[in-house]
């Protein structure tokens, strides 16, 4: 074959395959959103699910997902920041640093089901926290922490060196430079990454089945006392999240409209992840402008 | 003398640094404690059956019969281990060519708008939760396979298709990074010799970036191997070694997902599930090791 013909064929094949991926995404999103959108209503978003009868909603599940996300971020963000700053600014090349890097790499590549099982052994059984929101949040911490470390480290590495040197020239302590010079510059990247990782946490199911549990107790949304068992704010109650609910409805759902519920819940889940994606872009830029007095983001 | 730091100022300086160091050491230490305890806990449960003589290692790894509730129970996990490997390899075979083409499209064919078009697509695909992939697989791919091909629709083929879409973004983004970081002069000298774009891609670009692209493939396979719920929904969960791609099968993750809640803690059957978790964990180490080896080869 002439090289030119081969070139043309190869180009056509590559372009076709690339466009095929775009087509897959468009049809995937289109299918989920169109199929599920009809089923989304205010009632669907707020009412409790039905076991046998049709017409159940996903209210408690949606609330659980959001609450769990908040709990997880409260735990992981400070820890991830600390370890990430260490890796970016303090760690000297050597055996210890290599080891920590390996730990982060292994931890981030563990399957989420292993994280869930570990949570079941350690948190649910050994620490005796039972199937609860707090168990779920801790399991998600193991899942999210390596991500946060990487995000922080990368964000700090992109800060120009001059910023640090200027800080040293002013006679500031290293920790002061890290917290009040480097952190504000790195913050937009960190926030963008955190919001994107929040999308992953929001859709995670395998790690939560064995830690947060697969059922939600009857919730009383007028009871805001965090210690009462029927209060939605009680972190020690079992909680089924939206993603777990989709799995359960598909695998063992008894309601006659199980497929519609799964479609509606999937659409809610995907829409939320889309919102997280957009928010990450917008918020990163917004914070950057606020903190650095610059008009544009490089 | 003015400008000389006073003792008090020095103290504040040191205390700040000390607090920072203690805080960071705590965070790093926590990471190490988590991983050590994770390996310890899963491994101690995973070897329980082998230690107390309930099941032999060889029987667990190569036995093809899984009947924990029979009078003489047998715990052969080979159908699940082979199922996991089968769907993972198939998914990688489907996804790799697509991903490499997408990466070439972004970096070599139309670097400008190709990247603008595909970058968000890749990000969105990787953001879609796995249960949603499972749901779409169950309501689109399974009926499609049932209508067009022999079998029930659920099975190895459906699992591999769902997984291949899930690992597309992983492979594509790693491959695109590798292609983008290739020194420009390599390409230019190839073009200067009169090579066409395809000749340059197939004889210069792909061979040079091969280890890096393989890193992406291995990362994708690691994700596919550990994926639980999406596969569980479409694979059928029959405890046999499948004879064709359109038959039901099981993977390690799908058996754990279904079995863990229904067995009592500490029973031999439950411990066999933990042994499977241990296999999953060991495979993760293998994948990480492979990625590290490939990355070392990548440094020219």
Which of B5, B10, B20, B231 to mutate: most A Cβ within 10 Å? Answer: B20
Q: Average of pLDDT values for B247-251?
A: 84
The answer to whether the CB atoms of B134 and A250 lie below 8 A apart is yes
A256 has a pLDDT exceeding 80: no
Q: Average of pLDDT values for B111-135?
A: 87
pLDDT at position A150:
92
The answer to whether the CB atoms of B129 and A269 lie below 8 A apart is yes
Element (H, E) at B143: helix B142-148
A86 has a pLDDT exceeding 60: yes
| φ/ψ of residue B66, rounded to 5 | -115, 95
The answer to whether the CB atoms of B165 and A28 lie below 8 A apart is yes
- Closest residue on chain A to B253 (Cα): A113
Q: Is there a contact between A82 and B9 (Cβ–Cβ < 8 Å)?
A: no
Q: Which residues of A touch B166 (CB under 8 A)?
A: none
Distance from C-alpha of B149 to C-alpha of B144, rounded to nearest angstrom: 8
pLDDT at position B33:
93
Considering only CB atoms, A173 lies closest to which of B16, B129, B253, namely B16
pLDDT at position A298:
44
And the tokens for B73? 């129970």
* Helix/strand/coil for B67: strand
Distance from C-alpha of B138 to C-alpha of B233, rounded to nearest angstrom: 7
The answer to whether the CB atoms of B131 and A205 lie below 8 A apart is yes
| φ/ψ of residue A127, rounded to 5 | -80, -10
Distance from C-alpha of B82 to C-alpha of B66, rounded to nearest angstrom: 13
Q: Which residues of B touch A142 (CB under 8 A)?
A: 34, 38
Residue A206 sits at the chain B interface (C-beta within 8 Å): yes
Distance from C-alpha of B122 to C-alpha of B99, rounded to nearest angstrom: 10
Pick the more confident residue, A298 or A205.
Answer: A205
In 10 A of CB A255, how many CB atoms?
Answer: 17
Q: Average of pLDDT values for B31-46?
A: 91
pLDDT at position A199:
86
Q: Is there a contact between A112 and B226 (Cβ–Cβ < 8 Å)?
A: yes
pLDDT at position B281:
92
Transcribe A148-217 into DSSP letters.
HHHHHHHHHHTS-HHHHHHHHHTT--HHHHIIIIIHHHHHHHHHHHHHHHHHHHHH--HHHHTTT-S---
Which candidate, A154, A231, A134, places its Cα nearest to that of A196?
A: A154
Split at pLDDT 50, 70, 90, the class of B35 is very high
pLDDT at position B90:
93
Which candidate, B12, B131, B46, places its Cα nearest to that of A114?
A: B46
CA atoms within 13 A on the CB side of A68: 39
- Closest residue on chain A to B119 (Cα): A22
pLDDT tens digit string along B49-83? 888 877 888 888 888 888 877 777 888 888 889 88
Distance from C-alpha of B45 to C-alpha of B42, rounded to nearest angstrom: 5
pLDDT at position A75:
92
Closest-CA distance of chain B to residue A237, Å: 18
Report the percentage of chain B scoring pLDDT > 90: 28
Residue A279 sits at the chain B interface (C-beta within 8 Å): no
Closest-CA distance of chain B to residue A222, Å: 31
Q: Average of pLDDT values for A221-238?
A: 74
Under DSSP, the state recorded for B236 is B
Q: Is there a contact between B32 and A98 (Cβ–Cβ < 8 Å)?
A: no
The answer to whether the CB atoms of B27 and A200 lie below 8 A apart is no
B3 has a pLDDT exceeding 70: no
Q: Could you tell me if the ipTM is greater than 0.85? A: yes
Considering only CB atoms, A31 lies closest to which of B12, B31, B136, namely B136
The answer to whether the CB atoms of A175 and B14 lie below 8 A apart is no
Closest-CA distance of chain A to residue B197, Å: 6
Q: Which residues of B touch A210 (CB under 8 A)?
A: 260-261
Report the percentage of chain A scoring pLDDT > 90: 14
Q: Which residues of A touch B32 (CB under 8 A)?
A: 99-100, 103
Q: Average of pLDDT values for A7-22?
A: 89
Q: Average of pLDDT values for A205-225?
A: 78
Residue A178 sits at the chain B interface (C-beta within 8 Å): yes
Split at pLDDT 50, 70, 90, the class of A287 is confident
Q: Which residue has the tokens 């370890």?
A: A83
- Closest residue on chain A to B266 (Cα): A121
Q: Which residue has the tokens 């796995």?
A: B130
Q: Average of pLDDT values for A231-238?
A: 78
- Closest residue on chain B to A97 (Cα): B28
Distance from C-alpha of A48 to C-alpha of A232, rounded to nearest angstrom: 13
Residue A250 sits at the chain B interface (C-beta within 8 Å): yes
Pairing of the two strands B66-67 and B74-75:
antiparallel
Distance from C-alpha of A21 to C-alpha of B121, rounded to nearest angstrom: 8
Distance from C-alpha of B88 to C-alpha of A111, rounded to nearest angstrom: 14
pLDDT tens digit string along A120-170? 888 888 888 878 888 889 999 998 999 999 999 999 998 888 888 888 898
A197 has a pLDDT exceeding 50: yes
Considering only CB atoms, A18 lies closest to which of B41, B118, B136, namely B118
Q: Average of pLDDT values for B143-168?
A: 87
Sign of the torsion angle spanned by Cα atoms A204, A271, A275, B167: positive
The answer to whether the CB atoms of A277 and B127 lie below 8 A apart is yes
Report the percentage of chain B scoring pLDDT > 70: 96
The answer to whether the CB atoms of B233 and A15 lie below 8 A apart is no
A256: which residues sit within 8 A by CB, 6+ positions away? A53, A54
Closest-CA distance of chain B to residue A58, Å: 15
A295 has a pLDDT exceeding 60: no
Under DSSP, the state recorded for B152 is -
pLDDT tens digit string along B171-195? 999 999 888 888 888 888 988 998 8
The answer to whether the CB atoms of A11 and B20 lie below 8 A apart is no
Distance from C-alpha of A53 to C-alpha of A74, rounded to nearest angstrom: 38
The answer to whether the CB atoms of A13 and B165 lie below 8 A apart is no
Cα separation of the two ends of chain B: 55
Considering only CB atoms, B129 lies closest to which of A121, A122, A243, namely A243
Q: Residues for chain A: how many in total?
A: 298
In 10 A of CB A170, how many CB atoms?
Answer: 10
pLDDT at position B1:
46
B231 has a pLDDT exceeding 50: yes
Split at pLDDT 50, 70, 90, the class of B13 is confident
B164 has a pLDDT exceeding 90: yes
pLDDT at position B289:
92
Distance from C-alpha of B56 to C-alpha of B272, rounded to nearest angstrom: 11
Buried/exposed code over A267-289 (b: 16+ C-beta within 10 A; e: otherwise): bbbbbbbbebbebbeebbeebbe
Which candidate, B231, B269, B264, places its Cα nearest to that of A205?
A: B231
Q: Is there a contact between A227 and A47 (Cβ–Cβ < 8 Å)?
A: no
Q: Which residues of A touch B128 (CB under 8 A)?
A: 28, 203, 270, 273
Pick the more confident residue, B1 or A229.
Answer: A229
pLDDT at position A294:
60
Q: Residues for chain B: how many in total?
A: 300
Residue A207 sits at the chain B interface (C-beta within 8 Å): no
* Helix/strand/coil for B75: strand
Residue A85 sits at the chain B interface (C-beta within 8 Å): yes
Beta bridge partners of B75: B66
pLDDT tens digit string along B265-286? 878 888 888 999 999 999 999 9
pLDDT tens digit string along A91-121? 888 888 889 999 999 998 899 899 999 988 8
- Closest residue on chain B to A268 (Cα): B132
- Closest residue on chain B to A170 (Cα): B3
């Amino acid at each position: 074959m002439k090289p030119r013909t081969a070139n043309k064929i190869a180009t056509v094949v590559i372009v076709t395959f690339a466009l095929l991926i775009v087509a897959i995404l468009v049809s995937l999103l289109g299918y989920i959103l169109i199929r599920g959108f009809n089923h989304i209503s205010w009632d669907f978003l707020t009412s409790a699910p039905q076991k046998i009868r049709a017409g159940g909603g996903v209210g408690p599940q949606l609330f659980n997902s959001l609450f769990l996300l908040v709990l997880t971020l409260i735990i992981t963000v400070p820890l991830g920041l600390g370890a990430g700053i260490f890796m970016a600014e303090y760690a000297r090349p050597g055996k210890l640093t290599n080891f920590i890097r390996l730990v982060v790499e292994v931890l981030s590549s563990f399957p989420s089901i292993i994280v869930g099982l570990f949570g079941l052994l350690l948190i649910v059984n050994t620490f005796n926290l039972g199937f609860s929101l707090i168990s779920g949040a801790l399991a998600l911490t193991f899942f999210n922490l390596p991500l946060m470390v990487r995000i922080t480290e990368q964000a700090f590495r992109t800060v120009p060196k001059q910023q640090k040197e200027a800080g040293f020239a002013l006679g500031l302590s290293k920790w002061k430079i890290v917290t009040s010079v480097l952190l504000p510059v790195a913050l937009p990247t960190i926030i963008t990454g955190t919001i994107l990782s929040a999308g992953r946490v929001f859709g995670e199911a395998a790690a939560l089945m064995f830690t947060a549990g697969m059922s939600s107790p009857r919730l009383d949304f007028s009871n805001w006392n965090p210690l009462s068992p029927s209060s939605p704010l009680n972190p020690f109650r079992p909680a089924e999240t939206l993603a777990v609910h989709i799995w359960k409805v598909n695998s063992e759902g008894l309601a006659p409209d199980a497929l519609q519920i799964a479609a509606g819940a999937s659409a809610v889940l995907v829409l939320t992840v889309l919102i997280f994606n957009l928010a990450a872009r917008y918020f990163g830029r917004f914070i950057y402008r606020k903190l650095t007095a610059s008009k544009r983001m490089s | 003398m003015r400008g000389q730091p006073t003792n008090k100022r020095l103290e504040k300086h040191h205390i700040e640094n000390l607090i920072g160091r203690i805080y960071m050491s705590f965070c790093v230490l926590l990471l190490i404690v988590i991983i050590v305890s994770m390996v310890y806990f899963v491994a101690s449960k995973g070897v329980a059956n082998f230690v107390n003589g309930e099941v032999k290692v060889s029987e667990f790894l190569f036995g093809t019969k899984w009947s924990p509730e029979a009078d003489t129970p047998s715990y052969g996990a080979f159908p699940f281990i082979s199922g996991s490997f089968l769907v993972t390899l198939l998914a990688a075979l489907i996804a790799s060519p697509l991903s490499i083409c997408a990466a070439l499209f972004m970096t070599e064919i139309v670097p400008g708008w190709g990247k603008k078009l595909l970058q968000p697509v890749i990000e969105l695909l990787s953001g879609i939760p796995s249960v949603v992939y499972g749901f779409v697989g169950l309501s689109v791919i399974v009926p499609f396979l049932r209508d067009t091909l022999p079998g029930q629709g659920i099975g190895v083929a459906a699992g591999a298709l769902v997984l291949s879409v899930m690992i597309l973004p992983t492979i594509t983004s790693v491959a695109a990074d590798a292609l983008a970081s290739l020194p420009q002069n390599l390409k230019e000298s190839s073009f200067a010799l009169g090579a066409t774009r395809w000749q340059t891609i197939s004889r210069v670009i792909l061979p040079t970036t091969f280890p890096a692209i393989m890193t992406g493939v291995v990362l994708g396979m690691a994700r596919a191997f550990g994926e639980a719920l999406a596969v569980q929904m479409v694979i059928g969960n029959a405890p046999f070694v499948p004879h064709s791609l359109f038959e039901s099968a099981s993977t390690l993750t799908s058996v754990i997902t279904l079995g863990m809640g229904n067995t009592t803690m500490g029973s031999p059957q439950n411990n066999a599930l933990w042994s499977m978790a241990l296999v999953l964990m060991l495979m993760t180490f293998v994948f990480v090791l492979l990625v590290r080896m490939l990355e070392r080869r990548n440094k020219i």
